[in-house]
A and B are shown apart, each in its own frame.
Chain A
Amino acid sequence: MRSAATLSRRTLTRLLGATLTACTLPGWGESKSAARTSILNVSYDATRELYEAVNPQFAARWLAQSGVQVAILQSHGGSGVQARAIIAGLAADVATLGSAYDVIQLAQQARLIPANWATRLPDNSAPYTSTVVFLVRRGNPKNIRDWDDLVRPGVQVITPNPKSSSGARVNYLAAWAWAQRRPGGSEATAKRYMQQLYQHVPVLDSGARGSTDTFAERGIGDVLIAWESEALLARKKLGLDRVEIVAPSLSMLAEPPVTVVDQNVDRHGTRAVAQAYLEFLYTPVCQQIIAQNFFRPRDPAVQQQFQALFPAVKLVTIDQAFGGWERAQHVHFEDGGVFDQIYGQ
């Protein structure tokens, strides 16, 4: 009895000691010196690789420019979830989200940024773009060339749920825009087409990476509707020979916007570095990095250089086709909106 008691006390002491040592391991906590600062970039899932490449470049440039060492912290997740986190207090210095709709929420729900945020940087504050393409299996066995091939009998389409994924909203809107603009197309034919399209979707994942997994890892479906950036990245990561990319005759210009989060940078005293960080995205050096990470650059010279990677596609914008994100959101994706009508039936 006595030996057991000693042992238990010793075990407890040891356990406690081990955990305490673990916490005081070197590296825990931040070393604080005068010429150091950090900013938090709250972004969405698809830009992880992009900003991993951008951040060290910017940090080197900022050190040379101002003598201050800047650590850029990253947070990634679903674009809508990330916007809600910023609204709930995630202290983002810059927000680089998937769709303008999510950035608008920062202005409307929490007044973290002014309403004119989109005009503060060039190109609608979107330093890179993407578009919606099809990812098909090697050799394109179902011969998928354009949107109408997706609703042929026996074709299974993978795309995430537009209610939860802002990337999937662009997929949905691209399909709608094509259906409405084809010869003889109207709102009614577009709605009918969308209804057919979503009948061909066996799995509606909540996010883009989930859909890519469903298509590529689990091998479900004949075609994945994806952003070009995601499709190119998946092709690189999963092996060039397993999948092919097909560009439809008409697609949507996706403009993932960036903004400084005014309330947070003023509180942190990081406005200058945060602003410089976003402006850096528009420089030719960074536009190169952007293209290498599969987003379409804005810079014409860099576009020229990467035209083999990004073929010319006829593109419409959300503003042209739907009168802006807020209207599109209201008509199509709110509860009881068009998506609920076509998917419920």
Chain B
Amino acid sequence: MESARKFAEQFTISLDSEMDFDGWRKAARTLALAGAPSSAVTFLTPSAASQFLFTEASSPLPQPAGDTTFNVSKIFVEKAQTASHHSDPDRYDFLYHLLVRVLDEPNLLRIASDSDIRRLEAMVKSVRRDAHKMHAFVRFRKVGEVDASDDEARYVAWFEPDHFIVEREAGFFMRRFAQMNWSILTPKGSIHWNRQTLTVGPPAKRSDAPAEDATEELWRTYFSNIFNPARLKVKAMQSEMPKKYWKNMPEAALIPDLIAGAENRAKAMVAAMPSVPPPTHAAIRDRHWKGAEMGETGNTLPPPANDLETLRKQAETCRLCPLHEPATQTVFGEGPADAPLVFVGEQPGDKEDISGQPFIGPAGQLFDATLQDAGIDRSTVYVTNAVKHFKFQPRGKFRLHQKPNGDEIQTCRWWLGQELKLIDPDLTVALGATAAQSLLGRSVAVTKERGRIVESDEGQRVFITVHPSFLLRIPDERRKADERARFRDDMIAVRELMAA
């Protein structure tokens, strides 16, 4: 190994502060360019240096042999910088060791199973966790008059982080409490904000921070009451809020008593006999719920309605088939009560189920556009569905349409029959097989009977065509255009039938 021979010499680099990442970076770059192996390099932070009786001056850096620059990935620099805040005294030596390896193996950072990478990731994780806990567990105490405005008051906190993160995390508190005066004091340095500038100060002592704040009494009240004694999980609490943080959290002193009393409180609740309702209960029942139980259950057919609005109301609570439970609501027909032309589709889709209106999803939009092309005024027609609840299969964030079965169509047929009876149109258009089956009471092959007018048992004229959603599902563009034209021709035929 050439470099090992060349560097029998040892380098010791003194850094300016615990967080002197830039100093490390500069020295590390020069040393790496000169080919110094990690075994030949030691970095000293002020705290490590103070353990020696004499202050050690930095060694003169070697002259670079060839290249004067090199590139490492941005992600390495970011991770190294984060890790440099770690309290591990060897962190800068380790980061240099890693730098030397990364120059040799550019993909090293992606090898999660490598032991050096695991160490780096663990350091990064530990610093991030400490930062996160600082965001969480810093407790400000207000200094000044109790009702002092935020212009006059100052909020001061004492916190003990594991790592050198205080300066690093100043931004979080500046963004959050930008319009407050605050200080965060720690044994590893302090930060002060006066609503305009940040000042970094030396390490502080606990006694520098205020000893109390009247609001803490309210906070403790909240903490002890939000706790459910029947769900005691002490380990879960401690893994997220280790005891080392407790001494600086005003609420933590309550924890031992809350735990000690929990079991008895939970047992007492279970053992207590149900009580007699207070007198207010009867008054509330009387005032708010009188007759509420008499309402429609939806489990049986209602008496036939005399108008469409009443029928719509009745349908809202329908539970005659199981489709009502997964669906959001009954999607009833829409349009003038005396419309001469009625369109019947299959069932509402995802959008219709949410909005409660028929034919507003993709198929509905295509239907609207086609009607317009064919010269039929949508506002004069009534649109409805054979089945009035959306039947679907959940798939993640989406719902896949499912065809209603014979029973469901048969059950919902009563509602469609009532709608048609009340509207009494000149012509009804069955869009697709489900609509045709519901209207004619038999299964219909749409491809065979398309364009025909069939008379239903109730004496209504029914025109049969496809459902617009069929047009949306055709993958082949040419065939799609052909089918759309055919559907438009059907609609023109319908218009002509109406004019005749």
A pairs with B: no
Residues of A whose CB lies within 8 Å of any CB of B are none
Residues of B whose CB lies within 8 Å of any CB of A are none
